[in-house]
Structure 1
Amino acid sequence: MSDSQTDVMDPARARALQATLGLDATIGTGDPLPPFFHQVYFWAPEPPERLGRDGHPQTGIGLIPDMGLPRRMWAGGRLEFHGPLHAGVMAEKRSTVEKTARKDGRSGPLAFVTLRHEIAQEGVIRVTEWQDLVYREDPAPDARQPAPPLAPTDEDAAERWEFGTTRLFRYSALTFNGHRIHYDMDYATGVEGYAGLVTHGPLLAQLLMLLAEKRLGRVQSFAFRATAPLMHDEAAAICWRDDGTLWARGPDGRQCMTATAA
């Protein structure tokens, strides 16, 4: 199954993302977009009756099949940047379900969906992205959370980031992400079992990509994997090592995300 969307890549939206990230809002028509800024485009809004309990569009009525499990996570992804996307220029995004799978994990049944997105401008593919989604059951009330991995401490460069409810809200709005774990405290803690509001995995990936761009000059490929959630009231160290590896480290030393860039 596949679908296609178009968007003009409004520079005002890119500037809003710059401001949300604490950057100078400078992007104008024709300027190249930083890597991963395409996340604020290609909205696919659905009316309330077509949303699931978590605020996402219901599975099984669009591109993503119904895997029979209620909790969704963006587990990671991979990107190839063939050339820059430009603000103010019409773009087309073609999306395909590349594979699906189910298996039993330590915490119960899991379902996996991999989407492939190709984004083109002026008939030329500029970005290819693979997006890995995981679906799982609700946690049992007495379930013990597995111990998260510890992050390395041998980075060559690091940036400290704080998030808070306002930054999470603005990022949700810019990406048209209705997932309630990012803004609905009762839902995040009472239904999905988190310790607070969850900082978006793609937001952490965005910060890692921007750091990689600072160190490399241009990012041609990037892959990331979420390993533990980061809460809205926790600061993170966004880390770079000169061999091209990156990670996000929580305040207690846990590893929240790993990545590689070239």
Structure 2
Amino acid sequence: MDPARANALAAMLDDRRRFAPGDALPPFFHQIYFWEATTPDALAEDGHARLGTGLIPDLGLPRRMWAGGKLAFHAPLLAGEVATKTSVVESRAEKAGRSGRLGFVTLRHEIAQAGTVKVTEWQEVVYLEERAPDAPPPRVTQAPEDASAEARRFSEVDLFRYSALTYNAHRIHYDPGFATGQEGYPGLLVHGPLLAQELLLKAARDLGPLAGFRYRATAPAIVNDEIALCRDGTALWVRGADGQLCMDATATPA
């Protein structure tokens, strides 16, 4: 796990820490490792790898959203050490929603160093039908207020750098025409894992070492909007520019 890559993420997050071989990496920094490089002919229109060509089954649903996840931290991952990641499809299900047919896939990842699993991650991905022009607007939940919230704003440069670090070619994060025209969003979307990363770092700052973390994306955060990172005890959330709840989470201190 190359320290230079962790240092690049820290710089992108405006975190002044720098990591050397043997240093413990912050929680969730493993997202920038274990790239799955895909040749252009294997990509779908949205920039992701075409479904059915790898671990994710093709459910006949072309749109993809990272809906949330859960993490168990058994021991810190160390910079400069070899790591392995083992992934399985733990479950899949389909149901009908307000916007049509939905597919839900849960992936389980185990990340190990020196033969010991140090992080177990469950990643929840939802797949949707093509967006209809007359699709109903998504339901929005208002987020609680937090007087001590930390303000944050992500620019186009931030999104580009995070996409580069995670090798994420999803066009909703860098192609305004695709994000607004094809997907119907008001602008480029901030990555769900980037919001989760910010909440995890806030939880670690406020609560100390973590044993677990669970998060759920509820509404998009849009580029250049001022958002707020909020906490009440072990509950954390992201409040959007219009007061909407963009993500909620629960941290489990070690």
TM-score class normalised by the smaller sequence: over 0.9
Counterpart in the other structure of 1:222: 213
SS in 1 for 2:121: strand
SS in 2 for 1:16: helix
Distance 1:213 1:105 in 2: 36
Distance 2:17 2:209 in 1: 20
Alignment of 1:158-237 (within 5 A): 158-237=149-228
C-alpha change, 1:200 and 1:30, in structure 2 (3 Å) is same
Distance 1:256 1:88 in 2: 34
Distance 1:159 1:184 in 2: 28
The C-alpha deviation readout for 1:60-112, integer Å capped at 9, x for no partner, is 01000001011100000000000000001000000000011111011110001
SS in 2 for 1:49: helix
CA contact (8 A) 1:156 1:241 kept: no
Distance 1:70 1:188 in 2: 15
Report the identity percentage. Answer: 58
CA contact (8 A) 1:17 1:171 kept: yes
C-alpha change, 1:32 and 1:214, in structure 2 (3 Å) is same
SS in 1 for 2:190: coil
Work out which of the residue numbers 86, 101, 120 in structure 2 matches 1:94.
86
The C-alpha deviation readout for 1:170-218, integer Å capped at 9, x for no partner, is 0000000010000001111111111110000000000000000011110
Q: Which amino acid aligns with 1:251?
A: A
Aligned length: 252
Distance 1:234 1:164 in 2: 8
The Cα of 1:146 is off from its aligned counterpart by: 2.5
Work out which of the residue numbers 25, 33, 37 in structure 2 matches 1:33.
25
Counterpart in the other structure of 1:18: 10
Distance 1:220 1:21 in 2: 23
TM-score calculated relative to the size of structure 2: 0.97
Q: Which amino acid aligns with 2:198?
A: L
SS in 2 for 1:147: coil
1:45 and 2:37 matched: yes
SS in 1 for 2:122: strand
The Cα of 1:156 is off from its aligned counterpart by: 6.8
Q: Which runs of 4+ in 1 moved over 3 A?
A: none
SS in 1 for 2:210: coil
The Cα RMSD (Å) is 0.9
In the alignment, structure 1 segments of 5+ residues that lack a partner are 1-8
1:122 and 2:146 matched: no
